[in-house]
Structure 1
Amino acid sequence: METRKTNTETTLRTIKYDMQTAQKMDRIALKLGRPKRLVFVQMVDYFHRSKKDPLDVNDELLKNTLLKQHKDYIGFIRTQENDLLIPTKREVDRMIRNQKQIVDFFNGLDKHNKVMLGAQQEVFNAVNKHNEILSGTSAAVKEISDKLEAKQQLKKKFLYILENYIRSREAFGMMTPAREKEELIRHTRKQIDLL
């Protein structure tokens, strides 16, 4: 359905296609409210300008890249959790139990024995000092835990943005204006910037 102008007349070309394709073309033209010839010309212009392959309907490269980066990020977080956070918390809990047993032991000794009281006071001071260190360690573990939780929230928000982008992108048809696609990209980037 290509038109070629010569002098003052228009020469029309025809393209033959099967009935199923004709029905699809009719639906597209009806949906857009334009004549089939205009829709065809706009389709040709779109693919010519965008250099897009009509067979590539899902932007698979973008999806695969985002999924790979997401898996790498999750793997890193899990490694940190297994190698650092869980063992540290286990050791801190064990040290707290041991210190409590030591304090309970010394509290049960004869309080009238001055030698024992002096030794007990020294141990008590050491326990207090150790508890301060443990308190600092607990604060550090809590800070790491909070950061991991914040990363988990960030991951959930990013997945929501990604899924929203993919759903919107897949909803686009062949006739979706470039302006809408650019608006989707701009909106998605703005959401990521707000994370």
Structure 2
Amino acid sequence: MSSDTLRSIKYSEAEGLKLDKIALKLGRAKRQVFLQMIEYFYRTKKDPLDINDDLLKTTLLKQHRDYVGFIKTQENDLLIPTKREVERMTESQRKVINGFNGLLKQNEVIPTLMDKQNQYLYQLEVHYKAIVAQLKTKENLKRSFLNIFDGYAMARDNISSIGSRKEKDQLLITTQNQIKLL
């Protein structure tokens, strides 16, 4: 303990109960609570009789106004622009997500379209091959026809103008039969 002389204060039992409740509520010893009350009144220069401390009220109101003003300034300078930017960014992200969702839908459709396109190309290839085969057949028919026609012309030239009408008719029928066989 310190070398200070301890003094005692007398108070009623009701005040003692109040001090006990305060000390119990704060979780401190009664002596420590009492010393802290003395220090509080000494530092703040408050009168314990003035329960409605106007100085405290005005100080609190001033600090509250300053605090509210600071918050409003921060709201105008930081919060509102930040909120706008966040909303703008959210909207752009929403558009990006919608774009990706559209791509996903297209990615689901593309394989079926590619299958249809492959089937169409396969059918085109089949038709192309058939056309090429027909063109070859046509060319072969032309060559065969020209051979038959050349044979007819040569045979007709060989048959003299004196030749019988029967030989000429026979040559014509033979040539027609060869053309029909094509």
TM-score w.r.t. the length of structure 1 is 0.37
More helix by percentage: 2
| TM norm structure 2 | 0.40
Point out which structure has higher relative CO (alpha carbons under 8 A, 6+ apart): 1
Please tell me whether Structure 1 or Structure 2 has the larger radius of gyration of its CA atoms: 2
- Indicate the structure with greater strand content: 1
